[in-house]
Structure 1
Amino acid sequence: MTELAKTFDPAAIETRWYAHWEEQGLFRPERPGAEPWTIVNPPPNVTGSLHIGHALDNTLQDILVRHARLQGKDARWVVGTDHAGIATQMVVERNLAKDGVKRTDLGREAFVDKVWEWKAESGGQITGQLRRLGCSMDWAHERFTMDEGFSKAVLKVFVQLHRDGLLYRDKRLVNWDPHFGTAISDLEVETREVQGSFWHLRYPLADGSGEIRVATTRPETLLADMAVAVHPEDPRYTALIGKQVRLPITGRLVPIVGDEHADPALGSGAVKITPGHDFNDFEVGRRAGIEARDMLNMLDAKAQVTQTADGLIPSELLGLDRFEARKAIVARLKEEGFLVPHVDKDGNEHDAEPRTIQTPYGDRSGVVIEPWLTDQWYVDAKTLAQPAIEAVRSGKTQIVPKSWEKTYFNWMENIQPWCVSRQLWWGHRIPAWFAEDGRVFVAETEEEAQAEAGEGVALTRDPDVLDTWFSSALWPFATLGWPENTDPTLGGRYSNDVLISGFDILFFWDARMMMQGLHFMGDVPFRKLYLHGLVRAADGAKMSKSKGNTVDPLGLIDRYGADALRFFMAAMESQGRDIKMDEKRVEGYRNFATKLWNASRFAQANGITASTTLEPPAATLAVNKWIVAETVACVQAVDLALADLRFDGAANTIYQFVWSRFCDWYLELIKPVLQGEGAEGADETRAVAGWVLDQILVLLHPFMPFITEELWHAMGTRSNDLIVARWPIADARALDPAASQEIDWVIRLVNEVRAARTELNVPPGARLPIHVRDASPLTAERLAAQGNVLARLARVDVSTDEVPTGGALQIVVDEATFVLPLEGVVDLEAERVRLTKAIAAAEKERDSLAARLDNPSFVGRAKPEAVEKARADHADKQAEATRLQAALGRLG
């Protein structure tokens, strides 16, 4: 046994134990023949640092993998990082810019070499931070989405999908980032509310018979308009469908088409259609029979005005930035009489109507994203989605919480082609080669492409790279050595037991892993998909750097320890709900760790050591039978909670057991036994207490790995580390209902006496006799057996004398009434006056709050948090009044 320090200091133990576990290979111990259990970590960006979302996601995964390891399974947590194409390229370009160097100055190969240099020097920050959190990952087999083996898998998948007719090149609209000059995914688009304008324009009919009015937030796009849409059943416009308008500035003739996209109730009911620069307009254009190859494009890759295919844009507008072009076009429309002025409520005219506009921005570049028509590579996601839909419908993969299934099905059943190409230099280069005659050859190597093209055919490789989501979709099987071989240490097993991810990447990553896994491996990549919520600021707002409300998990670890942060994450993780960050609760769980530490010091001081048995020791004393039963019940509850992925249920069960049942009650109840106050069974009690403490440490280990490992070794000599110990077995044979009922009775009686003493201002040091009326033989027997406990914990002495008359404190527990005389201890009349006044004050506040809550004006207009606080305050005052009434009644 190692004597514990007086003060629990997380920093002193965390680094030491993590290094020990990793050096000893305990994250993946040799367990030949054991049941395999696997989980893959959502690979964080190699540029990343640990944020609070990572802390939640990885804590939940570590709880499950540590639990599986304790159950004796061959548990493996696959770990690695994602090459993060656009993010990594941006970091390296910024570093080069400090020396006045651009990537174009270096050329592609030299720039990629610079990225690899950066990765070697600075790309491992987050893996070190995951270690600080305590993540027991299989670091010996760490992967990177650009490592050699993984890259081979990516090339094979691309080529095979192309051969299967599921990957093709097409011209469609994409989210285009003009700053980086690349297509980006929806996840990289951040929508912001911007104060903008709504311009109303006149489009004259080509036959000179009138005009049609449209409204737009982007007047510059009229340079590429190809139609005006009206609702086919809008009586104002049915006669115009099929006619043409002549566009201002360009003079282009475009048709008026009927399409339900036009809402008669919005604006004029007529909508300008620019299919090359708006996602909705693209679909309207296709329904109107316009092929993508014929849609007009008025912007280049830098979002500057370029000439359209029909050559109708005036030369003075060419080369202008899109927003400069907007100003020039609005001025010209006004000058030529095509701008309809907006009249405000005071009758004043303005060029445009002010509007709040939802505007897409690149989350990294910070520039407005442009829907842009361009040639890209696409995956036929609709075909790949069908087996993935069926896998969830059939239950082969279970989504938890189940409420997310509806969202999954809705998205998968309406899925669009997936754009997988990016105009970057860092990433998996697309294995496609172009011939001068326009033919495309897709192959894993240039030699194979050349052989397919034929000798003498000059080939140029596609300069684009693949979307990082394309490669990360292969994570569950490419990390196992596929396609050359699966990892032999897994016995060829592919399907993971569970995947944990934020709901925000359900479609970007989870669903795509389902699609690719089923297509290439013929099995689901995971049998359970657990989707957790977001960690929000204390007020419920979404965290963002711009708001300044982010929380650094490493700072929390520095202040309170990794165990406290981990326990907070688990205890707050309730299926389907976001987590509100609350540093006070993290501090509270640090206090919980301290309480366990002090309980262990108490155990050491009283000769309680590590248990020598997995089974509960034989017990004869009721208090020991009770704690064994409580321990078994706790194990059962935790087992059920973890099986259902109820992290909060598991954590809170352990918390209540450790804090209340073990520390506050059991250790207090056994003090008379341990300290020799006439009781027998000290050796038995030490054995039982040591066994219970061992069960606590094992149960708590997945949640708080560091303190539990430290205490495990401090309590005595062990044959193994806690990380590879045995999970408790909930053996119902150890239960003794009669003993449990007796101790529960003691606890209820002590609680009642303590509460009554406090309410009636009985001096803390005063010892009172306790008499009983109407006691059953069982109650009398319990009083006799538990007299020492009641004397110590409630400061009462059991009396067999006749119950005295006069003022007394009265308590009813079960069939018996317990009477504690108060004459000479407190001023009974003064107490009655005090309690009566306190009751009146509490009832007054209660009634005032009730009146406010009954007022529809308050409930309807006040902030929700104000209404909720009023309800909580009302409940508190009601409870206070009831409690004080009971106290007054107890005076007899």
Structure 2
Amino acid sequence: MSGADMATRFNPQEIEADIYKAWEESGAFTAHRVEGKKPFTIVMPPPNITGQLHMGHAMDCIMQDAPIRYHRMKGDPTLWLPGTDHAAIATEVRIVEAMRKEGLTKEGIGREAFLERAWNWKKEYGGRIVHQQRKMGISCDWSRERFTMDEGCSRAVREVFVRLYEKGLIYRGNRMINWCPACQSAISDAEVEYKDVASHLWHIRYPGADGSEGVVVATTRPETMLGDTGVAVNPADERYTDLVGKKVILPIVNKEIPVVADDYVEKEFGTGAVKMTPAHDPNDFEVAQRHNLEIITVTNDDGTMNENAGRFAGMDPMECRKAVVEELEKLGLLVKVEDYSHNVGFCYRHGNTPVEPRLSEQWFVKMKTLAEPAIAAVREGRTKFVPERFSKMYYNWMENIRDWCISRQLWWGHRIPVWYCDDCGEQIVSREDPTVCPKCGGKLRQDEDVLDTWFSSALWPFSTLGWPDNTEDLKYFYPTSMLVTGWDIITFWVSRMMVAGIENMGEIPFETVLIHGLVRDEQGRKMSKSLGNGIDPLEVIDEYGTDALRFSLVMGVSPGNDTRYGKDKVEAARNFANKVWNASRFVLMNVNERKAFDPAKLETADKWILTRLQKAVKDISAHMEDGDFGLAATKIYDFAWSEFCDWYIELSKSRLLGEEGESKETVKAVLLFVLENLLKLLHPFMPFLTEQVYKYLPGSEGFLMLQSWPEYNEAYVFAGDEEKMQGVMEIIRTIRNLRSEMNVAPSKRTHLMLLPAEGWADTLKGGEGYFKKLAGAEQVELISDRSDATGKNVSAVVAAGELFIPLGDLVDFEKEVARLTKELENLKKEMARSNGMLNNQGFLAKAPAQLVQQEKDKLEAAKSKAAALENRIAELKENL
């Protein structure tokens, strides 16, 4: 193929699918182990099998694919390992909703039938997002694709559970947890999102058991008082010294509860007396442990009130709150109600469902000792965050870490590998499924719960490589090189992978954690279904092509910073793609064979573009190494558009159209050399465009994605010639600006006089052809003194010297005077109209002040413009 075969316009929709299919079928994405060479490895953050490609995924794709393509071209053994997550809660919710439409329930069909449905769901929908990811052009090694519940990952999960249990780091306990009534499951601290909620502070009197007034407590949750088992005050609070050790009556329930003194209570909050509901508040639970208070749960799994709530049983919390408050008013025990805003925890999966702190028997991991080496790994620089500021979020979470509740009341997921014997009470934790109780031979019952999804995700960097088997992939590709993810899951996932990797592999899971920001809408808002501002990346791809979307998401975006999606950005990226396509087509229409250039035959323009190319290679490579892909994309954009397309190609045209000879052969060789290197530099960001153009390059073989990354070559850096060419270009830009300011027609040719600065004479003489071709000069004259520039001239000072153009060459004085006179007449009519309005008392009396002021401002602006026009006309008439 040749440039003549290239379409006149770039149409990504016609080529993307075929190119991707060719890449994948050829095995170009497959990673190979090479003895003695350090690999570059990324494990993909596994998207949920329930997921659909959104802008966050699109950002993830480009931020991983760019370094993968770069390192593959660098010659590094490169593995990007893809996979998906079973997403326990999200998937189960979807299946339950689908069953509800059929009139079915989980409990009705039983666990086995439900899991059969779940696996069918995974088979039907699990690969959807994987197919969508392919539309982004990502170069994963699909031959190594994993799933968090495949056989190998499941074996790794059980192995880790058993090991931690045997070390005493996993235990079952009755502890305070976060309960989501919508999920009807425990959730971890990391899955709770706190929002400021406008509510009230209710002041309730708890009468003394001895007939005294008792004490007034302040609470934000009056419905939980039904589970109160005490009142706490600060031991230093003199107001309540006499009450400590006595009992008060719990209103409505009419039960005596003790008053205790505890340092937890803040004297300044509310009344300084706090009701204790140990089963529904983690702080109250701690107080209860210290003072041996009773613990009573008053809610069901679905959040409704249970039998311990008495006549309020069955009510939802808000309904119960209203009823309790009404009852307190009837009893005369509601002292006052204040407006109050406070933080309330919500389930991050069910944004409108408040999380219920409650006491529950669950499985936990002791995290403090596990966290210590993971903290040290970051402090010592073995794993680094980019940008570094995100390490603070990591430290804050890890240094204040609490035991991790890992059990979930679900059926879809990794079932907890614990069995119970109801005959003798034996508890078995095993790598293999036991059949009978090893102690008494009795029948066993497996724990009903499954593990938190993040438990299996924590093992992802090594379970996907074959652990617990010591596979060749594991030995070669672990630890991985880079993790690319958003800041919002540093606590959910990054911290847990650090813990799991060090604990089970004795080594960090990744060397670099590259954090990217969120993709927001044009107003800076987070994209969400509720706001209706989400953008479907697939629709953008259908309209603009994958490369345009990829480039728009990365160009100019600093690591860790959010970016705003805008149609204008995608259109600008598409325009850039078209620019590169058209420039490539021009080059390949003129260059039909591959020849090396002779460095001795290079002209100044050739040396300039080769120098600029080497600087681009050096800068872009450094940015790719640093993970600053936004700067790398900006650099290649500037080089491709401004330096190659707008300058060098334009500078080359006169030589391409000239007679056959050394100059023509040299410029053709340089054009092809620079174009090929430009395509390589751009490839990590625009893989489809660059791969398609590469096919048309004379002598090209194979895929561009497998070609070598450009290496900086000092032999192609010509600093002196670069400076000379920059001087010539500055003169061209200056003349273009002067012509634009003076509204000179492109066809009008001028006489250009140049007074060279010291050492610039030969360069300016050699640039004569460029000045004629690109600056509209008909005649170029080098002068030795300013006095040689006779008559009236427009002049400018540049680095290479001074330039002079006869004023008459730029302006047709009679036509310009006539044009400006007409413009002045129209302006005076407008001024007369404004004056008439401002002298009209009726207008001044009735018009809004803002409108009157606008009219005054317009008049002043018109006066100023008229004065300038009159001065310009006078100047021009002097030259007639």
Matched, 1:730 2:712: yes
Match of 2:444 in 1: 459
1:476-625 alignment runs, 5 A limit:
476-486=461-471, 488-489=472-473, 491-607=475-591, 611=594, 619-625=601-607
Matched, 1:782 2:763: yes
Check the 8 A contact 1:617/1:691 in 2, yes or no: no
Query: 2 CA distance for matches of 1:261 and 1:29?
Result: 57
Q: 1:242 to 1:661 in 2, by over 3 A?
A: farther
Matched, 1:747 2:712: no
> Secondary structure of 2:60's partner?
helix
Check the 8 A contact 1:608/1:690 in 2, yes or no: no
Match of 1:51 in 2: 54
Match of 1:390 in 2: 376
Query: 2 CA distance for matches of 1:577 and 1:244?
Result: 56
Give deviations 1:128-183, integer Å, cap 9, x for gaps: 01100011111111111111111111111101100011110111222212233211
Check the 8 A contact 1:377/1:421 in 2, yes or no: yes
Give deviations 1:469-521, integer Å, cap 9, x for gaps: 000101011111111332x2465442001111111111111110110110111
Amino acid paired to 1:450: C
Q: 1:289 to 1:63 in 2, by over 3 A?
A: farther
> Secondary structure of 2:419's partner?
strand
Q: State the shift of 1:384 in Å.
A: 0.7
2:676 to 694, 708, 719: 694
Query: 2 CA distance for matches of 1:17 and 1:646?
Result: 27
Q: State the shift of 1:393 in Å.
A: 1.1
Query: 2 CA distance for matches of 1:7 and 1:467?
Result: 51
Q: State the shift of 1:59 in Å.
A: 0.9
Amino acid paired to 1:502: G
The share of aligned pairs that are identical, in percent, is: 43
> Secondary structure of 1:77's partner?
strand
Query: 2 CA distance for matches of 1:811 and 1:325?
Result: 83
Check the 8 A contact 1:397/1:526 in 2, yes or no: yes
> Secondary structure of 2:164's partner?
helix
Query: 1 CA distance for matches of 2:421 and 2:102?
Result: 38
Amino acid paired to 1:21: W
Q: 1:652 to 1:535 in 2, by over 3 A?
A: same
Check the 8 A contact 1:626/1:743 in 2, yes or no: yes
Matched, 1:299 2:299: yes
Q: State the shift of 1:264 in Å.
A: 3.8
Q: State the shift of 1:26 in Å.
A: 0.3
1:9-20 alignment runs, 5 A limit:
9-20=11-22
Q: State the shift of 1:684 in Å.
A: 1.1
Q: State the shift of 1:581 in Å.
A: 1.4
> Secondary structure of 1:706's partner?
helix
Match of 2:649 in 1: 667
Matched, 1:154 2:157: yes
Check the 8 A contact 1:362/1:368 in 2, yes or no: no
Q: State the shift of 1:35 in Å.
A: 3.3
Give deviations 1:676-703, integer Å, cap 9, x for gaps: 0798511111111101111111111111
Query: 1 CA distance for matches of 2:53 and 2:190?
Result: 19
Q: State the shift of 1:561 in Å.
A: 1.0
- Name structure 1 gaps, 5 residues minimum: 343-351, 842-879
Q: 1:569 to 1:694 in 2, by over 3 A?
A: same
2:685 to 668, 678, 703: 703
1:124-163 alignment runs, 5 A limit:
124-163=127-166
Match of 2:854 in 1: none
Query: 1 CA distance for matches of 2:322 and 2:749?
Result: 88
Check the 8 A contact 2:728/2:800 in 1, yes or no: no
Match of 2:740 in 1: 758
Q: State the shift of 1:72 in Å.
A: 0.8
Aligned length, in residue pairs? 822
2:323 to 321, 328, 351: 328
Query: 1 CA distance for matches of 2:259 and 2:729?
Result: 82
Amino acid paired to 1:631: L
Q: 1:249 to 1:812 in 2, by over 3 A?
A: same
Check the 8 A contact 1:37/1:68 in 2, yes or no: yes
Check the 8 A contact 2:601/2:662 in 1, yes or no: no
Query: 2 CA distance for matches of 1:672 and 1:808?
Result: 28
Matched, 1:198 2:201: yes
- Name structure 2 gaps, 5 residues minimum: 828-864
Q: State the shift of 1:440 in Å.
A: 2.4
Q: 1:151 to 1:678 in 2, by over 3 A?
A: closer
> Secondary structure of 1:183's partner?
strand
1:647 to 607, 612, 629: 629
2:25 to 11, 23, 36: 23
2:6 to 4, 7, 10: 4
Query: 2 CA distance for matches of 1:123 and 1:136?
Result: 19
Query: 2 CA distance for matches of 1:469 and 1:501?
Result: 15
Match of 1:821 in 2: 806
Amino acid paired to 1:790: F
Give deviations 1:65-87, integer Å, cap 9, x for gaps: 11110011110111110001011
1:87 to 87, 90, 95: 90
Query: 2 CA distance for matches of 1:72 and 1:413?
Result: 40
Q: State the shift of 1:22 in Å.
A: 0.5
Q: 1:447 to 1:699 in 2, by over 3 A?
A: same
Query: 2 CA distance for matches of 1:191 and 1:803?
Result: 77
Q: State the shift of 1:735 in Å.
A: 1.1
Query: 1 CA distance for matches of 2:543 and 2:50?
Result: 25
1:807-818 alignment runs, 5 A limit:
807-814=792-799, 816-818=801-803
> Secondary structure of 1:527's partner?
strand
Q: Under a length normalisation based on structure 1, what TM-score does the superposition of the two structures give? A: 0.87
Q: 1:624 to 1:501 in 2, by over 3 A?
A: same
Amino acid paired to 1:669: L
1:79-478 alignment runs, 5 A limit:
79-192=82-195, 194-259=197-262, 261-286=264-289, 288-290=290-292, 294-308=294-308, 313=309, 315-342=310-337, 353=339, 358=344, 360-361=346-347, 363-364=349-350, 366-436=352-422, 438-447=425-434, 450-451=437-438, 454-478=439-463
Amino acid paired to 1:820: I
Check the 8 A contact 2:328/2:334 in 1, yes or no: yes
Query: 1 CA distance for matches of 2:389 and 2:79?
Result: 29
Query: 2 CA distance for matches of 1:813 and 1:679?
Result: 33
Q: State the shift of 1:273 in Å.
A: 2.5
Q: State the shift of 1:269 in Å.
A: 3.2
> Secondary structure of 2:726's partner?
helix
Query: 2 CA distance for matches of 1:617 and 1:744?
Result: 20
Give deviations 1:273-314, integer Å, cap 9, x for gaps: 22211234334444x3448xx522111212232345xxxx5x
Q: State the shift of 1:11 in Å.
A: 0.8
Amino acid paired to 1:574: S
Amino acid paired to 1:485: N
Q: CA RMSD in A?
A: 2.9
Query: 2 CA distance for matches of 1:832 and 1:284?
Result: 92
Q: 1:29 to 1:216 in 2, by over 3 A?
A: closer
Q: Under a length normalisation based on structure 2, what TM-score does the superposition of the two structures give? A: 0.88
> Secondary structure of 1:681's partner?
helix
Check the 8 A contact 1:180/1:365 in 2, yes or no: no
Give deviations 1:781-828, integer Å, cap 9, x for gaps: 122111111111110231247744443211101262211111264267
Query: 2 CA distance for matches of 1:700 and 1:617?
Result: 26
Give deviations 1:244-279, integer Å, cap 9, x for gaps: 332112233334344454444443233322221123
Check the 8 A contact 1:618/1:684 in 2, yes or no: no
Check the 8 A contact 1:617/1:688 in 2, yes or no: no
Q: 1:60 to 1:815 in 2, by over 3 A?
A: closer
Amino acid paired to 1:59: I
